[in-house]
Every structure is written in structure tokens, then in C-alpha cells.
């Protein structure tokens, strides 16, 4: 065998060896590398999704801080946040001439997925003229309260208009107050 034939034989044996190795496992090892690469790509995608969610969390926290009222906002230190909010609602009603609003309830509710803030709400029932009722609702809105329920009842456009309203506000979670606690009517 001459040198050229020996080179051709070595190249053929090498080609058959590589082909055999490919058929009996080398292809799986190479494909497994692709699977590992795709697993890394999935983890990288999940990481970026989590970063976006974290950015959303910061936006939500900032928005809560903008609308929330810190506990102990100048009211008596003996008041729970729910009772202080209830007093604020009734002070507004009294200042607009609703001298005997019927206090239904004040409550503190957890907000799903938010640990640092709670939702305070107060239900109120009273009656008055259309103009006075509109002023009352507008004042609640100006004070940063949201309406959870609102019912106006009138007979053929005559005064007085019956009002049932539940107003709410987001506030920081008090340290010592229990959540989801109902406050009874003050005496």
C-alpha cells in the first residue's frame, strides 16, 4: 500500500468511526446540550418576567403611598385608624348640615396581595336635599375617599333624598390593630 492509499484508508476508518459514534450516542450528547441551552433560555425568560413583575410591584407601592393616609393623622391617639376614619366621615357630614347621620359600621379590610396597607370603610345613612347630598358626595371625593356603595332614594324628585353610602380609604396597616375588625357604634 502506498502512502496515498494509507491516507485514504485512515480517512475512511475515521469517517466510519465518527459516523458510528454519532449513531450510538454522540448525537444524544450534542442534542442534550441543546436541551440544556433551551432550559437556560427558559430560566432566563422567567428571570426577566420576574424582573418586570418586580418593577410593577414598585409602581403599585408608589401608587398606594400616594393615596394612603398614614395612621395617626392628627386624630386622637386613642382612636384606632378605623374609628378615626369613621369620625372624619361624620365630621364631614356634620359640617355640611347632616346633623344626625346614622352610623352603620366602620371596618378595616385586608387588601389581597398587599401586606402594608388596609382598606378602611365606613357606611353612612342619612337624608337631605339634592343639593346637600351632592355637596356631601363631592366633599368625600375631595378628601380622597372612594365610593364602594352608593344608593340614592327619592320619591318623585322631592326632598329629602335618602342616601346610603359606603366610603373607603387606603391607609397603612396599623401596628397593633387587628384587621377585619368591626367597630361598633360610638355611644
What is the structure's pLDDT at 27? 56
The predicted structure's pLDDT at residue 100: 64
pLDDT average, residue stretch 53-70? 68
pLDDT at 138 over 90: yes
Is the pTM here over 0.85, yes or no? no
Q: CB–CB of 87/75 below 8 Å?
A: yes
Mean pLDDT of 160-165: 86
CB-count burial class (<10 Å; 0-12, 13-18, 19+) for 105: middle
Lowest mean pLDDT among 3-12, 16-25, 54-63, 148-157: 54-63
User: Residue 75 pLDDT > 70, yes or no?
Assistant: no
Amino acid at each position: 500500500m502506498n502512502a496515498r492509499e494509507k491516507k485514504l484508508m485512515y480517512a475512511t476508518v475515521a469517517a466510519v468511526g465518527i459516523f458510528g459514534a454519532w449513531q450510538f450516542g454522540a448525537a444524544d450528547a450534542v442534542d442534550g446540550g441543546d436541551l440544556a441551552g433551551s432550559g437556560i433560555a427558559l430560566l432566563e425568560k422567567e428571570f426577566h418576567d420576574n424582573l418586570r413583575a418586580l418593577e410593577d410591584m414598585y409602581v403599585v407601592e408608589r401608587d398606594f403611598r400616594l393615596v394612603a393616609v398614614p395612621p395617626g393623622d392628627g386624630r386622637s391617639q386613642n382612636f384606632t385608624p378605623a374609628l378615626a376614619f369613621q369620625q372624619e366621615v361624620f365630621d364631614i357630614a356634620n359640617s355640611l348640615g347632616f346633623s344626625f347621620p346614622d352610623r352603620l359600621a366602620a371596618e378595616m379590610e385586608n387588601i389581597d396581595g398587599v401586606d402594608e396597607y388596609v382598606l378602611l370603610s365606613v357606611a353612612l345613612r342619612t337624608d337631605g336635599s339634592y343639593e346637600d347630598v351632592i355637596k356631601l358626595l363631592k366633599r368625600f371625593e375631595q378628601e380622597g375617599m372612594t365610593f364602594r356603595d352608593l344608593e340614592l332614594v327619592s320619591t318623585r324628585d322631592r326632598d329629602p333624598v335618602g342616601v346610603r353610602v359606603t366610603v373607603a380609604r387606603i391607609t397603612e396597616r396599623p401596628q397593633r390593630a387587628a384587621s377585619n375588625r368591626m367597630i361598633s357604634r360610638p355611644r
